[in-house]
A = this chain, B = another copy of it.
């Protein structure tokens, strides 16, 4: 029992302060859509992504000539090259490039977690590859859900619960926090039909209103890629 490592879940960036310092690896999750888009970007051969928390920082990089994506409230911020649709990162001209990204929830969570020893990016898109890698690290792992405007959201929680379930099933991990137990329960009741389950999610409704059904389908499809984005010196690169 004592040799087992912890896999725990923090529901929102605001609660991270009560978890921080106890985990060797933080997995940042923003299923709809930042971390799904980041995985899509590396799968498409993008060289690196600089995540920034604020629009001001994003504009600074733009002035320096970087390709910059910025999303707020589900839409591309005026004057920027793209938002956080996974499809916008699949373009040929982005291969080998370094881009900058700021989103409502995901890059904020990345910046909050940046002080952890290791920070990786998780999504349903890369979940099996991520769990396989996590399972051999022999480290305590925290899934940090990005939430929606500082509140709990279902899709990030279900992704985190799926990670807990896979790692616990391996026999080398244990969950203690009530949030982790709840995430696993929610995942187990959702997994047979994640799209149907998430119909009731407020965030999904918001995206539907913005005609982003294709994005949602992409983001909720497990294992589109084996890439694991990792934060190195303030930049996300492929592990």
Contacts and interface: CB of A to CB of B under 8 A. Distances in A.
A176 interface: yes
Given A11-B11, A15-B12, A152 B182 contact: yes
Contacts of A182: 152, 154, 157, 182, 186
Interface string A181-195: 110011001000000
B203 A178 contact: yes
Contacts of A149: 18
B201 A178 contact: yes
A148 interface: yes
Tell me the dominant secondary structure on chain A's binding face.
helix
A202 B186 contact: no
B181 A151 contact: no
Interface of A: 11-12, 14-15, 18, 148-154, 157, 176-179, 181-182, 185-186, 189, 200-203
Given A185-B189, A189-B185, A15 B150 contact: yes
A23 to B, nearest CB: 14
Nearest to A11: B152
Contacts of A177: 151-152, 202
A170 to B, nearest CB: 19
A186 B148 CA distance: 20
28 contacts: A11-B11, A11-B152, A12-B15, A14-B14, A14-B15, A15-B15, A15-B150, A15-B152, A18-B149, A18-B150, A148-B178, A151-B177, A151-B178, A152-B177, A152-B178, A152-B179, A152-B182, A153-B178, A154-B178, A154-B181, A157-B182, A176-B202, A178-B201, A178-B203, A181-B200, A182-B182, A185-B186, A189-B189
